[in-house]
């Protein structure tokens, strides 16, 4: 999970040469959490729940906002 979180951080900060929107959809609600909260799509049992783009969403959304606003990988 640590490696997955590092990879998501690199995608969001532009350290990897991919677009965030190719992998994730930002949540449209700001009721709880931070501004980088990800939308979690409905998945059918056991079909997609282990895909990288689905399994990291809950953990990413639980991270505190201060961690997400780090500028370098080492401070993340």
User: How many CB atoms lie under 10 A from the CB of residue 43?
Assistant: 13
Return the SS3 of 40: coil
Looking at residue 47, what DSSP letter applies? T
Considering the domain boundaries, does residue 27 fall inside one? yes
Considering the domain boundaries, does residue 75 fall inside one? no
Considering the domain boundaries, does residue 76 fall inside one? no
Output the pLDDT for position 3. Answer: 94
What is the count of structural domains for the chain? 1
The Cα–Cα gap between 63 and 54 comes to 16
Range of the domain at 27: 2-68
Contact 67, 76 (CB under 8 A): yes
Considering the domain boundaries, does residue 38 fall inside one? yes
pLDDT-derived band at 31, boundaries 50, 70, 90: low
Return the SS3 of 55: helix
Lowest-pLDDT range of 2-6, 26-30, 34-38, 44-48: 44-48
Output the pLDDT for position 6. Answer: 95
Helix (H) or strand (E) holding 70: none
Output the pLDDT for position 35. Answer: 80
The overall average pLDDT reported for the chain is 87
């Amino acid at each position: 999970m640590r490696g997955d979180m590092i990879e998501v951080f690199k995608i969001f900060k532009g350290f990897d040469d991919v677009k965030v929107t190719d992998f994730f959809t930002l949540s449209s609600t700001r009721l709880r959490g931070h501004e980088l909260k990800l939308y979690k799509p409905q998945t059918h049992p056991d079909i997609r729940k282990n895909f990288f783009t689905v399994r990291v969403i809950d953990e990413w959304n639980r991270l505190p906002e201060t961690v997400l606003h780090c500028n370098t990988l080492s401070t993340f």
